[in-house]
Amino acid sequence: MNGVKLAVLGGEGTGKSALTVRFLTKRFIGEYASNFESIYKKHLCLEGKPLSLEIYDPCTQPLKAKFSLTSELHWADGFVVVYDISDRSSFALAKTLLYRIREPTATHGKRAVEAAVFLVGNKQDLCHIRKVGWDEGQRLACEYRCQFCELSAAEQSLEVEMMFLRAIKDVLGNVKLKEKRRPSGSRSMAKLINNVFGKRRKSV
């Protein structure tokens, strides 16, 4: 069984817990305590194959994004970074999170393939008090090489489900790419032998 680990990151009040619970249970719960962390586990069947999913929802701490993401970066296969379209400060924090995830000097930078990342502008139902434009989210996603969407955890159950499924598929695609790039032992040995003796054979 394939296993996928997603970390859902974002500032306080962005609705990251609401998105996670909406995906897992199809229910919307508006209020969550933000002073504890949770790991949710779910078994899925994706394209006819069983899948074990773990979603990490950390407690919200404003400075966590800058200084203490090391464990999340090592643990997760992919990331969902959430901001509130009606709160510009949450967008700034999302940018900090994306920078930290993509930071080339970080210890996790030795990954064979870049981690799958999804940037989500939540609370689309509050577009009448929007502070962050759709085009701004799109540009930020392009800058940090990640997928992007806007949606509403409160009103769009199907869209939330599709976003998580796309994130999971991106992770699985990265796993396949990593395996494809990893040469088998026999191929590596054959290549080494050919490099050492190949030219000599031709000269005989």
pLDDT for 76-98, tens place per residue?
A: 999 999 999 999 999 999 999 99
Look at residue 159 in the predicted model and tell me its pLDDT.
97
What is residue 33's predicted lDDT score, i.e. its pLDDT? 60
pLDDT digits 0-9 by tens, 100-136 = 999 875 545 455 578 999 999 999 999 999 999 999 9
Q: Does 204 have pLDDT greater than 50?
A: no
Most confident of 1-15, 54-68, 135-149, 172-186: 135-149
Q: What is the mean pLDDT of residues 53-71?
A: 69
Extents of the domains making up the chain:
3-198
Q: Of 39-48, 160-169, 193-202, which range is least confident?
A: 193-202
Q: What mean pLDDT is predicted for residues 52-64?
A: 76
Please answer whether residues 44 and 53 qualify as being in contact, where contact means their C-beta atoms are separated by less than 8 angstroms. Answer: yes
Give 181's pLDDT tier (boundaries 50, 70, 90).
Answer: low
Residue keyed to tokens 């996603």 = 141
Say which range, 4-13, 139-148, 151-160, 186-195, has the weakest mean pLDDT.
Answer: 186-195
- Per CATH, the architecture of 3-198 is what? 3-Layer(aba) Sandwich (3.40)
Nearest to 100 by CA among 146, 168, 39, 156: 146
Range 157-168 average pLDDT:
96
Confidence of residue 194 (pLDDT cuts 50, 70, 90): low
Residues 161/23, Cβ–Cβ less than 8 Å: yes
CA dihedral 63, 65, 68, 74 (to 10 degrees): 170
CB of 131 closer than 8 Å to CB of 87 = yes
CB 14 within 8 A of CB 57: no
